[in-house]
Amino acid sequence: MPSSFFAPSRGVPEAEARYAVFGGSILYWALGWGVAASLETRELHWYIAMATAPIAWIAWGLGWLRSWRSAAWWLAWAMIAVVAALSWNSKAEQTTLFLNLVVMVVFCGWVLGTRAALGMSLAAIGLVVALVLHEKLKWLQFLGMSYTIGFFLWVIYIERRRYERQLHKQQKSLEELSQHKRQVALLYQAVDQSPDSVLIVGLDGRVRYANKSFATQYGYSSEEVIGRPSLEVSVNGLSADEHRSMRETVHSGGVWRGTLHNQRKDGSTVTESVSISPVYEDGQLSSFVEIKQDVTDRLQAEEYIAFLQNFDGLTQLPNRYALARLLEKLLLQSRVGRRANSISPSIWHAMLVVDLDRFKKFNDARGSAWSDALLQALALRLRTLVPETAFVARTTADQFAVVIENAGSSRQESRLQAYALASDLLLALDFLDIHHEGVERVPISCGIGFTVFPFVEPGLKVDATEHIMRRCSVALSQAKNQGAGKIHAYSEALAETAHRHLQVEKGLHEALEHGHLRLFVQHQVDMFGKVAGMEALVRWQHPQEGLISPAEFIPIAEESGLIIPLGDWVLEQVCLLLTHPRVKAGGYTLSANVSALQFQEPDFVSKLTALLQRTGVDATRLTLEFTESLLLTDIEAIIRKMVALRALGVQFAIDDFGTGYSSLSYLMRLPIQEIKMDQSFIRDMQPDAASGALVQACLMVAKSQSLRVVAEGVEELAQTHVLQAWEPSILCQGYLFSRPIPAEQWLQDTDKLSDALLTEL
């Protein structure tokens, strides 16, 4: 908005300028022709007055072709020119001419703005000054003219400021109104496209507005909903009490919220979270807003999540968490009953764990889809086999638990009840009909371990859920160890065995770390009693328990994987022993046992090669012994490793020959140099019995392949005579010649021990 007289003002808008030019030009035209009509003769004034018509036409043309502001400028300057012409050769009244000048100043000020009015004023005053200087006017008339123009300029300025102020306010109001309209349109669009159903309901309870989501959700068109009661089409799931509570809440200014099962147009039901809020106009309650969100899927998801917390998604059986809660409840009931009666519990419960035999092999052979179908079939079968009151749960991938409440009034009775159920299950679980890509009957077997509770084990104060599960796990492990399709009950002896197993495994870790292992050797002698070689044996010197038998810790090392670092330690000690001067001088060979797990390690060949290079051992004096179980894995990979080590000079021997299940065709392909007959053959050997024939057969196989033979477990002199009669080059190993002794002791007493062996023969 202009702040001073000289500040620019653009005048009226283009549309208003058009009306001003039309009106001004017509009046100007009429005035000119009126002047012409008043003249009696056709002189210059008459022609000038008649020229007002073409001047008006030209103004109209400029307005249409260019702009009406240009037309206003043309009209103003044309009028100045006409006034100047008439005034210069005037026989007319000067006052009328000057009045035209004032009118033009006012016209320009209004239509074109204050700056245009100022310019027109200067032009008019300049014309008057020229007329005074040419004695056409007097200075008094100049002063009157100037005063009049100045006065009107001031009036124009004041009015223009007021007009422009009002115009500015109107423009601002229009902008605010336009902004409000845009916001309202945006809000309307957001509400109309909202995924939630939105309705506006009047105080009479009838719908005034419903967005698209409501129409889509409920199947109504907008025309069908508007004017109908909300209780019929929107919140028809409200009960009478809920409706009354909602009205009270909203009328008091609060927001009512709830979850309703509303009915659509087609009669189907939708579960919605509903929020109803009051709307005020001028401080008075005018309507309500209903906002509804479909929560059917969310509630179903929440229910499914809650289901998965307690049930297995595959078999629909209770899961391990639900099983634990049941056990805790039963134990709590027993403790409460015991405190109330102050006696031992008279009610015992039983828990069985059923585990599928060879499930991993089935999964590897048939795939996860078939395995899932198998587990579903087993779950269904278990539900039909156990009593209705029994609780069946899936605890792990292929394990199921069965809890029998009130199995008996004594521990023995409940154990018998559990064993009877386990036996029935084993008899019934022989085949399963699997429904996957058709129906297939699959033979199965299960291992079952069970325990009873509440039972307080020695060293514990109370029975607990984890103790029950542990006891069942221990019993199941024992059943699986006995073979497929076995049952085993928990006993304290099993717990002691499992505890001892953990102790040995933990102690073996410490033995490897702190150097508690010792290397022992046992001689291998020929028919003359001369030491031809030795077998290296590992012993565990426990700090508190002394020497622990390898029969106890070797199987645990195999099971836990500790056999690999244990075997690496033995090989390193054997290589160090082979570098000893006495061993070198005697030309002894050393044999070391290698487990299948250790030999199957991908870097076994590279590690042993590096060890031989580091110690500088003659590899031909090292013999690696392995059992036939090694050949049950990838035989081609085994042969490649043996060939690689044989190229270094390492020799191989098959330990416990004849006790395994390997094919003789495989044995013939192996680069072996020695076989060791198991001590069970030697112990039961009788020349005329089947055992003797078996030993002779082994000797014949060895001779056909030019292999050395070592007989283990030789404890009687008669055994050596028979063996040497059958095979003079045979080597004997056993207590008859020497027990295993520490390697360091053997190095000290080498000569003495050799003499003793010769004397023995």
Q: And the tokens for 521?
A: 């050797």
**0.75 exceeded by pTM:** no
Which of 10 and 234 is assigned the larger pLDDT? Answer: 234
Average pLDDT of span 95-106:
58
| CB of 201 closer than 8 Å to CB of 290 | yes
Lowest mean pLDDT among 9-13, 592-596, 690-694: 9-13
Lowest mean pLDDT among 163-167, 181-185, 355-359, 657-661: 657-661
740-743: Cβ within 8 A, 24+ apart: 740/520, 740/521, 740/522, 740/537, 740/539, 741/520, 741/521, 741/522, 742/518, 742/519, 742/520, 742/539, 743/518, 743/519, 743/520, 743/521, 743/536, 743/573, 743/577
Q: Could you give the domains of the chain?
A: 14-171 (no CATH), 193-299 (3.30.450.20), 311-490 (3.30.70.270), 513-760 (3.20.20.450)
Count of Cβ atoms closer than 10 Å to residue 688 Cβ: 7
Average pLDDT of span 469-489:
90
600-607: Cβ within 8 A, 24+ apart: 600/630, 600/633, 600/637, 600/638, 601/564, 604/641, 605/641, 605/644, 605/645, 607/568
- Of 80, 116, 69, 292, nearest to 194 by C-alpha is 292
Report which DSSP code applies to 549.
P
pLDDT band at 4 (very low <50, low <70, confident <90, very high): very low
pLDDT number for residue 417: 92
Task: Find the helix or strand (DSSP H, E) in which 530 lies.
Answer: none
pLDDT number for residue 569: 93
Could you give the CA distance from residue 104 to residue 241 in angstroms, rounded to a whole number?
A: 80
pLDDT band at 538 (very low <50, low <70, confident <90, very high): very high
Residues 6+ apart with CB under 8 A from 295: 259, 271, 272, 273
| CB of 391 closer than 8 Å to CB of 457 | no
pLDDT in tens, 686-723: 665 566 777 888 888 888 788 888 988 888 888 888 88
Top-ranked range on mean pLDDT: pick from 73-82, 122-131, 256-265, 750-759: 256-265
pLDDT band at 666 (very low <50, low <70, confident <90, very high): low
Could you give the CA distance from residue 480 to residue 445 in angstroms, rounded to a whole number?
A: 11
Preceding omega of 454 cis (within 30 degrees of 0): yes
Cα 175 to its chain centre, rounded Å, is 51
| CB of 556 closer than 8 Å to CB of 577 | no
Which of 710 and 24 is assigned the larger pLDDT? Answer: 710
pLDDT number for residue 117: 67
Which of 191 and 244 is assigned the larger pLDDT? Answer: 244
By three-state DSSP, how is residue 535 classified? strand
Could you give the CA distance from residue 685 to residue 428 in angstroms, rounded to a whole number?
A: 45
Lowest mean pLDDT among 187-191, 284-288, 331-335: 187-191
Q: And the tokens for 636?
A: 């081609």
pLDDT number for residue 7: 43
Could you give the CA distance from residue 542 to residue 552 in angstroms, rounded to a whole number?
A: 13
pLDDT over threshold 60, residue 519: yes
Top-ranked range on mean pLDDT: pick from 329-343, 356-370, 663-677, 680-694: 356-370
pLDDT number for residue 8: 43
pLDDT over threshold 80, residue 121: no
pLDDT over threshold 90, residue 197: no
- Of 328, 308, 474, nearest to 394 by C-alpha is 308
pLDDT number for residue 111: 67
Report which DSSP code applies to 663.
-
pLDDT band at 621 (very low <50, low <70, confident <90, very high): very high
pLDDT number for residue 261: 85
pLDDT number for residue 353: 96
pLDDT number for residue 594: 92
| CB of 487 closer than 8 Å to CB of 423 | yes
Which of 279 and 144 is assigned the larger pLDDT? Answer: 279
- Of 27, 139, 6, 17, nearest to 79 by C-alpha is 27
Residue position matching structure tokens 């209004």: 110
pLDDT over threshold 80, residue 669: no
Top-ranked range on mean pLDDT: pick from 6-15, 155-164, 626-635, 740-749: 740-749
Partners of residue 276 on adjacent β-strands: 256, 290
Average pLDDT of span 511-531:
88
Partners of residue 674 on adjacent β-strands: 653, 708
Instruction: Give just the sign of the alpha carbon dihedral 547, 551, 552, 556.
Output: positive
| CB of 114 closer than 8 Å to CB of 160 | yes
Q: At what angle do helices 94-111 and 114-133 cross, to 10 degrees?
A: 160
CA angle 324, 329, 331 (to 5 degrees): 95
pLDDT number for residue 240: 84
> What strands, in cross-sheet order, belong to the sheet with 197-202?
207-210, 197-202, 284-294, 269-281, 256-263
By three-state DSSP, how is residue 129 classified? helix
- Of 685, 673, 742, nearest to 710 by C-alpha is 673
State the first-to-last Cα distance of the chain, in angstroms, to the nearest integer: 133
Average pLDDT of span 260-282:
85
Could you give the CA distance from residue 640 to residue 655 in angstroms, rounded to a whole number?
A: 20
Lowest mean pLDDT among 118-132, 342-356, 696-710: 118-132
pLDDT over threshold 90, residue 612: yes
Could you give the CA distance from residue 535 to residue 64 in angstroms, rounded to a whole number?
A: 122
| CB of 200 closer than 8 Å to CB of 289 | yes
By three-state DSSP, how is residue 761 classified? coil
Average pLDDT of span 634-663:
82
pLDDT number for residue 658: 67
Could you give the CA distance from residue 177 to residue 174 in angstroms, rounded to a whole number?
A: 5
Phi, psi of 753 (to 5 degrees): -70, -40
pLDDT in tens, 128-141: 777 777 766 677 76
Phi, psi of 187 (to 5 degrees): -65, -40
Percent of the chain with pLDDT over 90: 23
Average pLDDT of span 246-273:
86
pLDDT number for residue 87: 67
Could you give the CA distance from residue 424 to residue 413 in angstroms, rounded to a whole number?
A: 17
pLDDT over threshold 60, residue 663: no
Say which amino acid occupies 458.
P
pLDDT number for residue 155: 65
pLDDT band at 381 (very low <50, low <70, confident <90, very high): very high
pLDDT number for residue 574: 93
* Average pLDDT score over the chain: 81
Phi, psi of 730 (to 5 degrees): -65, 145
Q: What CA dihedral angle connects 547, 553, 557 and 560, to 10 degrees?
A: -120
Residue 11 region by backbone torsions, left for phi larger than 0, else alpha for psi between -120 and 50, else beta: left
Could you give the CA distance from residue 184 to residue 194 in angstroms, rounded to a whole number?
A: 15
Could you give the CA distance from residue 392 to residue 323 in angstroms, rounded to a whole number?
A: 8
